[in-house]
A and B are shown apart, each in its own frame.
Chain A
Amino acid sequence: MDPLLYVFDLIVFIGIFSIVSLSLNLEFGFAGLANFGKVAFFLIGAYTYALLSQVGVPFYLCLVAGALISAIFGLVISLPALRLREDYLAIAILAFGEILRLIVKSEDWLAGGDWGVTVSPAISLVGASHRVDALINIALVYLCLFICFLVVQLLTNSPYGRVVRAIREDEVAAEALGKDKSKYKAQALMLGSAMTGIAGGLYAQYLQCVLPGMFMPMITFTVWIMVLLGGPANNWGALLGACLVEIFDRGTNIAKDYLTLPIDPSNLQYILFGALIIVVLLYRPQGLLKETQVRTKAMEMVRRGRSAVRNKGS
């Protein structure tokens, strides 16, 4: 395969999964919601894009629709689920994701069942080479990533971000201080789902098809590794995690072609993934990049004020 194309492909995947990683970071890292059904929202976004684009809806509307419908599902789940204890929430969302995959697999009329749906790319220039197609995708994906990153960075470095973190730390205390915990949690889940929905749409149009087999629980766990490794509650960490995990994933696939190992590399890859999470949890549970503090102008002033005072004193 064309090596440059391979690199472009990797870059697209990093971009798409960075968005999903950012969304889980928002839900779990900042808001403390253990979303173990990430792949379900990814699937919703992808299938929404696929079905709408089939009837001729322009790509940007398909993406928006994917975000909206994912967000609606996020809202629907949050209504009963948010008062659940964290592990019950995790299990319930995981089960929800599995039910969704089951439906998509079984209902042929809905989305082609096991055979899926073909999707045309968002933007295709007539006669363009594969490389140009890939570059177009990179531009599109990274534009979306930029917007998502901007939104989460602004949100988490604002009073809103402060309240969300407080609810994660101690929701009873946060409620005692006047914060409606259910509202914030629901918003976090909806926003996270919307972002994942966009990523799903981008995925669908890049791979030019959607199949139930593309949305296995493994995707959810891969995104969890990205967030835990990069560092929960750190948006740069979420990006770093996505980068590292995707590169590792590709790396082991390449190794399959060039090295002969005693163990089939695809198995080895997951064994290493598992070992990696355990090592991270045991020795660096805060991840590679530590949790960020809320940075607003006022906080900056206080910070500077502090050091000014300290300098004066010494």
Chain B
Amino acid sequence: MINWAQVFFNSAITGSLYLIGAVGLTLTYGLSRFPNFAHAEFITLGAYIGYLVAEQLGLGLPSALVVAFSVTGIVGVLCYCGILQPLARGGASIIHLMVASIALGFIFRHSIGALWTWKPLYFTAAWSAFDIGPLRISGLWVGLIFAALVLSLAMHFLLMNTKIGKAIRASASNPELALASGINVDRVVWITWFIGAGLAAVAGIFRGADTQIWPMTGWDIILPIFAVAILGGIGNFYGSIVAAFIIGLAENIGVVGLIALGFSTTYRIGIAFLILIITLIVRPQGLAMLFRRA
């Protein structure tokens, strides 16, 4: 008998992780108009900084989250200002920018591998799973879902009610008009990259805590995160919320289906890949038109 409650709960877990990881990607992709593959390494970097703070410095997980967010955020802005923006200004095409972001990813990934080796690392905090009725849950998973909820509310508030949020929305939909209205579009872009990289770091910590920390932590989930960004409509925050949970559901229901059909569950990750390809081919603008532009 299929434990549907568990399937839905798991979907919320998967969706929450993908959402936190995808927000930064969708916003920067929408603003800077190229797919930033270094986002995978922002996730990984976050996981390792989290490990450094929580385990190696012994300061615990909450500090780890804060430090990882901030440091990775700064790294993100530096990457953009130092390399990607100059390239774009010099006339680099979307593909060149994409390749540059992949190259940046190599540098980060292997620097991390050099500093911490390629052996998987683990957070020592124990989140034992316990049962509530038919559901098997753990503190970590609840924390993850909670974090995604907080993030959604915070981003909604930011985008709708703050000056900077409105500036982000304006810059995303019409950069020339935004510039003409006196918005410092450059600063808006930097702030977006900061938040985006920072959130990636948070996703990295959760992912690392849930599975393991190794230099491929980000790359392991980057394609599903791209799927979320594209399905939700590039640059559309609200769309990515819906997309994250659709993909979370698809993956977890898909697992049920795979088992029923006798396929290996390693195909689980392929479900998001398929959604990604199909979305790109059938409706590359994603669910965008159905939602208010974020």
Given a CB threshold of 8 Å, the question of whether A touches B is answered with yes
Chain A residues with a Cβ under 8 A of chain B? 28, 34, 80-81, 84-88, 90-92, 94-96, 98-99, 102-103, 105-107, 221, 224, 228, 263-264, 267-271, 273-278, 281-282, 285
Given the known inter-chain contacts A267-B111, A278-B103, A282-B87, please indicate yes or no for A91 contacting B276, CB distance below 8 A.
yes
The residues in B between 217 and 274 inclusive whose CB is less than 8 angstroms from any CB of A are 223, 226, 230, 263-264, 266-267, 269-270, 273-274
A224 to B35, Cβ gap below 8 A? Answer: no
**Which among A98, A263, A270 has the highest number of chain B CB atoms within 10 Å?**
A270
Given the known inter-chain contacts A267-B113, A285-B92, please indicate yes or no for A274 contacting B104, CB distance below 8 A.
yes
Q: In whole angstroms, how far apart are the Cα atoms of A84 and B113 in the complex?
A: 35
B106 to A95, Cβ gap below 8 A? Answer: no
- Chain A residue contacts of B93, Cβ below 8 A: 86
A86 to B281, Cβ gap below 8 A? Answer: no
Given the known inter-chain contacts A81-B281, A87-B98, A106-B266, please indicate yes or no for A95 contacting B103, CB distance below 8 A.
no
- Chain B residue contacts of A91, Cβ below 8 A: 35, 226, 230, 276, 280
With an 8 A cutoff between CB atoms, is B39 at the interface?
no
With an 8 A cutoff between CB atoms, is B182 at the interface?
no
- Chain B residue contacts of A275, Cβ below 8 A: 103, 107
B208, chain A: closest CB distance, angstroms: 20
- Chain A residue contacts of B111, Cβ below 8 A: 267, 271
B270 to A270, Cβ gap below 8 A? Answer: no
B223 to A95, Cβ gap below 8 A? Answer: yes
With an 8 A cutoff between CB atoms, is B114 at the interface?
yes
Q: In whole angstroms, how far apart are the Cα atoms of A88 and B284 in the complex?
A: 8
Q: In whole angstroms, how far apart are the Cα atoms of A179 and B230 in the complex?
A: 31
Chain B residues with a Cβ under 8 A of chain A? 34-35, 83, 86-87, 90, 92-96, 98-100, 102-107, 109-111, 113-114, 223, 226, 230, 263-264, 266-267, 269-270, 273-274, 276-277, 280-281, 284
A245, chain B: closest CB distance, angstroms: 13
Q: In whole angstroms, how far apart are the Cα atoms of A95 and B269 in the complex?
A: 11
Given the known inter-chain contacts A95-B223, A106-B267, A267-B111, please indicate yes or no for A85 contacting B284, CB distance below 8 A.
yes
- Chain B residue contacts of A271, Cβ below 8 A: 106-107, 110-111, 114
B284, chain A: closest CB distance, angstroms: 5
A274 to B276, Cβ gap below 8 A? Answer: no
A228 to B99, Cβ gap below 8 A? Answer: yes
Query: Which residue from chain A places its CB closest to the CB of B265 in the assembled complex?
Result: A106
Query: Which residue from chain B places its CB closest to the CB of A84 in the assembled complex?
Result: B280
- Chain A residue contacts of B277, Cβ below 8 A: 92, 95-96, 99
B223 to A98, Cβ gap below 8 A? Answer: yes
B80, chain A: closest CB distance, angstroms: 13
B210, chain A: closest CB distance, angstroms: 21
Q: In whole angstroms, how far apart are the Cα atoms of A91 and B36 in the complex?
A: 11
- Chain B residue contacts of A80, Cβ below 8 A: 281
Query: Which residue from chain B places its CB closest to the CB of A220 in the assembled complex?
Result: B102
- Chain A residue contacts of B223, Cβ below 8 A: 94-95, 98
B274 to A267, Cβ gap below 8 A? Answer: no
B18, chain A: closest CB distance, angstroms: 15
Given the known inter-chain contacts A264-B114, A273-B106, please indicate yes or no for A281 contacting B267, CB distance below 8 A.
no
Q: In whole angstroms, how far apart are the Cα atoms of A96 and B35 in the complex?
A: 17
B83 to A282, Cβ gap below 8 A? Answer: yes
B96, chain A: closest CB distance, angstroms: 5
Q: In whole angstroms, how far apart are the Cα atoms of A80 and B284 in the complex?
A: 12
- Chain B residue contacts of A98, Cβ below 8 A: 223, 270, 273
Q: In whole angstroms, how far apart are the Cα atoms of A224 and B109 in the complex?
A: 18
A281 to B100, Cβ gap below 8 A? Answer: yes
A278 to B110, Cβ gap below 8 A? Answer: no
A282 to B98, Cβ gap below 8 A? Answer: no
Given the known inter-chain contacts A99-B274, A267-B113, A270-B106, please indicate yes or no for A281 contacting B99, CB distance below 8 A.
yes
- Chain A residue contacts of B276, Cβ below 8 A: 91-92, 95
- Chain A residue contacts of B98, Cβ below 8 A: 34, 87, 90
Q: In whole angstroms, how far apart are the Cα atoms of A54 and B148 in the complex?
A: 51
- Apart from A91-B230, A270-B110, A274-B106, what 6 extra A-B contacts exist at CB < 8 Å? A85-B284, A87-B98, A95-B223, A275-B103, A281-B92, A281-B100
- Chain B residue contacts of A81, Cβ below 8 A: 280-281
B22, chain A: closest CB distance, angstroms: 14
Given the known inter-chain contacts A99-B274, A221-B106, A228-B99, please indicate yes or no for A88 contacting B280, CB distance below 8 A.
yes
